[in-house]
Amino acid sequence: MITWPHSRKTFVITMAAEDVVNSLRPVTVPREAGINGKIMFTGWVQNDRFQIMRYATRINPFQPVAHGRLESPSRGCILVLQYHLLPITRWLLMAGAFVAVLTATVIYQARQPAAAGAIAGTTLVVGLVAWLNFRLHRQDLETHILRVLQEH
């Protein structure tokens, strides 16, 4: 199921899939674990897939989660990354949009088109800000993942 916002990228990497996993494991910890200086991600890493997000010292609801899948051809590997928002953030954005549209509809029915337009416009602006914030953090996460793989 594709949800908004969503992004997908595919990388062809010269490293073997096992080397990619071995590069990500030392810098990734479960969310409950204590953090030391070289940890960059929280999440989990398995043999052919992972789910990680950037380690954050403060709460950031627009931080994307990277779902990675590794495929092993004869040489190197193919890394498929899908980025999503946290489920609670997606839910809050959808619920907020629904309430805004419902409120705008009720106000429009009450013959207040200017107020309905203002609510609809505000909803669009919030959605645009959410998308731009997601893209900004997605690029940061992608840069850090690729940096870890290049350092190995």
pLDDT in tens, 99-135: 888 888 888 788 888 887 888 888 888 878 888 888 8
Kindly list the domain boundaries of the chain, sorted by start residue: 6-88+126-151
Fold of the domain built from segment(s) 6-88+126-151: TATA-Binding Protein (3.30.310)
pLDDT of residue 151: 82
What sign does the dihedral 24-56-32-11 (CA atoms) show?
Answer: negative
Name the region of 85 (left: φ>0; alpha: ψ -120 to 50; beta: rest): beta
Tell me if 16 sits within 8 A of 142, measured CB to CB: no
Question: Against a cut of 0.95, is the pTM above it?
Answer: no
> 36: pLDDT confidence band, cut at 50, 70 and 90?
low
**Res. 25: pLDDT tops 70:** yes
